Amino acid sequence: MLNAKDVLNELRLKGFTFFTGVPCSFLKPFINCVIESHDVNYIIAPNEGDAVSMAVGAYLAGSKCVVLCQNSGLGNMVNPMTSLNYPFKIPFLLFVTLRGEIGIGDEPQHELMGQITSELLSTLRIPWDFLPSNIDNIPNALSKAQQNMNALGVPFAFIIKKGLFEKYHSNQKIDHSKPNKIGQIFGTFSVDRKNMPRIKAIELIKDSTLVNDALVFTTGKIGREAFSLGDSSNQIYIIGSMGCASGIGFGIHNVIPKKRVIVFDGDGAAIMRMGIFSVIGYYRPKNFVHVILDNESYESTGGQTTTSTTTDFTTIAAACGYNKCWRVEEQEFLKQVVPNLKMSDGPYLLHIKVANGSVSPLLRPNLSPMEVKNRFMYFLRNNKDC
């Protein structure tokens, strides 16, 4: 059996300092040990997919990351690990428990995943091994994992069996001192509004940014329009992994809290992973700006309607703990709002109603995902204090 503190110490010696994930009873001793440690950072994740996105953001900002989950959570990870980690070549260490192991009694919902966990990891082209039960073997196992991650640029998974960790006495208590602060909301939407072009909203916000701001653009036409307006090293264009841009931006800010991070999201993407609103509101990143460009449709796939017509993102964000939220439908009001985003009392949310349609020609980034990633990481590494 393993002592949680000993394993955590070995991870720290290897440079792993950012931890996130969704709890599993098999990992309870280790997760509680991580949470109580003052030497590493643990971020609560609303689901395993968002844990991946936050780990990706932390990696971009220079941290070595560990994502914790049970094997049922692999289903939530498939999209970001295949369309985000793989093309961008972003590795992290994955601790995944083996619920439903053959021959071990468990709940019926774990039966199938217990049979296919290793096969699923192999199908996802994620190298894996069982976490050793002897602490003396952990350093070599971690070195092997790091070598794989360095060589392939993808996660490495350790499968963790039931009873691997010794009991750990936790003093953790729920922090009721954290107030449920409801943020301020400004602006209204009119019924007969004439929505501004999306590219104009992007342009107005981009023109107000500083050279040291980090800009994260969600997948689809938002990223393409941002590129069409002008490319720079402080911009990263997320491909695939719909809904993950806000988690990536939060992960960056968590590692580099002095840096202003602006996430340009879409209505469909925001709806897809709305759980991240609660995380952002809970941790309250002060230099974080979340922009939702809402055209009430999935424009890239043919203009199918989203459910955003009846979704008030500002009310949701304010209730989750975002400090200030704006509803924006006119360019002049957006111009008035933008200067407020430079004050360090976020997180902020801008819910901007925009028109369907995009500029023509609509350019695509002419850099590969790895080139965009490497350039963006270089920018973050050389601009950490501003």
Average pLDDT, the chain: 95
Going by pLDDT thresholds of 50, 70 and 90, the confidence category of residue 176 is: low
Going by pLDDT thresholds of 50, 70 and 90, the confidence category of residue 179 is: low
Contact 227, 237 (CB under 8 A): yes
Fold of 4-160: Rossmann fold (3.40.50)
Give the pLDDT confidence of 14-53 residue by residue, as tens digits: 999 999 999 999 999 999 999 999 999 999 999 999 999 9
The neighbouring-strand residues paired with 351 are 292, 327
Fold of 184-381: Rossmann fold (3.40.50)
CB atoms within 10 A of CB 216: 31
Q: What's the pTM?
A: 0.96
Contact 99, 114 (CB under 8 A): yes
Buried/exposed 183-203: b ≥16 CB within 10 Å, e otherwise: bebebeeeeeeebbbbbbbbb
Going by pLDDT thresholds of 50, 70 and 90, the confidence category of residue 329 is: very high
Rounded mean pLDDT of 94-109? 94
Are 4-160 and 184-381 the same fold in CATH?
yes
pLDDT for 81 beyond 90: yes
d(CA 300, CA 224): 11
What does the domain layout of the chain look like in residue ranges?
4-160, 184-381
d(CA 344, CA 329): 24
DSSP state of 165: B
